Amino acid sequence: MKNSSKSFKSDYHEFDIIPEYPYSLNFYTKKPEEEIGLSEFKALALKRWHLLKDIESVQVQNSVYSENENNLFEIIQKKNPLPLNVSGDGSGVTPEIMYYQRREDLISHYILRLAYCEQEDKKEWFINQECNLFKMRWERNKNNYEKKEFLKTLNLPMEVVSEEEKYKLKDDMFNNETYYKIPFEVVTDLVQNRTVFIKKGNAYVPLSNQISVIINEFRQNLKRSLDYLGENFSKMKIKEDERLYSIIKKIADNNVYETYKPSNNGEIKYQDIPRIAQYFPLCMKRLQDELVINSHLRHGGRMQYGLFLKGINLPLDESLKFWRHAFNKMTEDQFQKGYAYNIRHNYGKEGKRADYRPYSCNKIIMGNPPSTGEYHGCPFRHSPIEVLEVMLRKRGIKESTITQIIAFTRSQHYQLACRAMLEEVSGISAVKLENISYPNDYFNQCYPGSEIYKNLIKASNQEDTQNIDEMEF
């Protein structure tokens, strides 16, 4: 193993003294070159895995989320000592500690790249949590000079808008803030939420929304790298080292998502679905509504909705009846030839006979967005804000809750938005609700026939009774 010890001057400038890792922020474009032992390899992998899991857990569980990432950081710090480089500008940290933090950060990131590059769902999870970690570091870093120098290294397609150009445009959206001119396709989330001014293919993004541009670039870079690594993983010599490969495989086999919990609400009949659809999450209620209107759903919608229905205990024979009844504008022969096989395949009765589980929230959020005439995906992620507001009002959601949901949506915390809606629909306090990792988790916690819902209500009533008994008069 190469000797990684360093010597530092007492009087230093951060960027000069740590040339290998000049910034606390990192796009991980430079691979680690040093050799490390297996014990450190395993230890660093576990550190980062636990850190990313803690970040995910805290974000989902704490629905009262602040735009200030410091709040998130403080909550995570209580759960995890944050052994990796998340200190932001490194204030109060010695050069030696700063060096080893950044070294561990780089190496641990690349270890998890190896572990998650081959499985699409885990690749999506890894990308999401790394984006969350980067955003947290960016928000905590108060060293604007470092941020500016770091951005120069990225060569992003950003151009500062001059005061003269702002005056010529004369749009009410402009204020005294610094603005950047960026190709609109780079900031589709901001365009969708109508928070930026657009002209001639360019979006005019204020400095306060700069993080959206950076995160989008970080996400795309990481996805490209993981795709390339996944395509070439079998050609690498890692599998020849049994000890090394066994560690990577063990990490890859760790369940990054909440364990899927099948519904325990008895068997559902196809005639029940219109009645119980009021307990479906917004993504599935929309699919049901559009299915009724159009008597058809395209492939993406059928897959997402069909597996959800399977997950709430709609048996195969009832599923075939449901879809045949819904597709009422086609002949029996057309249905059997075009659709029945795929329905049986989802239930493991055709093809390789795999037992497919419902799509996870991460898969739905990060999947291909719906195009015209398609209705799959996550409404909090893929619908324009004004369309989302209409959907929520049609569901009877209170205006105060809609305001909270829209705030979560604008901050790209889509599962928190869904959780806020569940809290109102179920009548159960958010602190008592379980995480929503699958749309089925939403249904299980608000459908009156679900054992999970019954247990939540029972526990909530017992706590209320206990609180009354303890009151002093």
- pTM beyond 0.75: the answer is no
Residue partners of 414: CB distance under 8 A and separation at least 6:
361, 365, 378, 380, 381, 408
Residue partners of 312: CB distance under 8 A and separation at least 6:
263, 265, 268, 440, 443, 447
d(CA 196, CA 192): 9
Which pLDDT belongs to residue 273? 97
Which pLDDT belongs to residue 184? 85
Which pLDDT belongs to residue 6? 57
Is 436 in contact with 422 (CB distance < 8 Å)? yes
Residue partners of 27: CB distance under 8 A and separation at least 6:
154, 217, 218, 221
Residue 126: how many other CB atoms lie within 10 Å: 24
C-alpha distances in Å from residue 98, one per residue of 106, 135, 138, 139, 338: 12, 19, 16, 18, 60
Is 101 in contact with 217 (CB distance < 8 Å)? no
Which tens digits make up the pLDDT trace of 156-206? 888 888 888 877 877 666 777 788 888 888 877 777 777 788 888 888 888
Per-run averaged pLDDT (10 residues), the chain, 473 residues: 48 58 91 91 90 79 50 65 51 75 92 91 88 86 83 86 81 74 82 79 84 89 94 81 87 71 82 96 98 97 97 96 97 96 95 90 87 96 94 96 92 88 92 88 94 89 57 51
C-alpha distances in Å from residue 84, one per residue of 51, 87, 99, 137, 230: 8, 8, 11, 11, 25
Which tens digits make up the pLDDT trace of 223-274? 999 999 999 888 887 877 888 888 898 888 876 666 667 777 788 999 999 9
| Main-chain dihedrals φ then ψ at residue 284, nearest 5 degrees | -85, -35
Which pLDDT belongs to residue 17? 61
Q: Of all residues in the chain, what percent carry a pLDDT higher than 90?
A: 43
d(CA 450, CA 128): 31
C-alpha distances in Å from residue 132, one per residue of 59, 235, 380: 9, 31, 18
Is 297 in contact with 266 (CB distance < 8 Å)? no
- Measured in whole angstroms, the distance separating CA 187 from the mean position of its chain's CA atoms is 17
| Main-chain dihedrals φ then ψ at residue 180, nearest 5 degrees | -120, 140
Specify burial of residue 391 (Cβ count, 10 A radius: 0-12, 13-18, 19+).
middle
Which pLDDT belongs to residue 10? 42
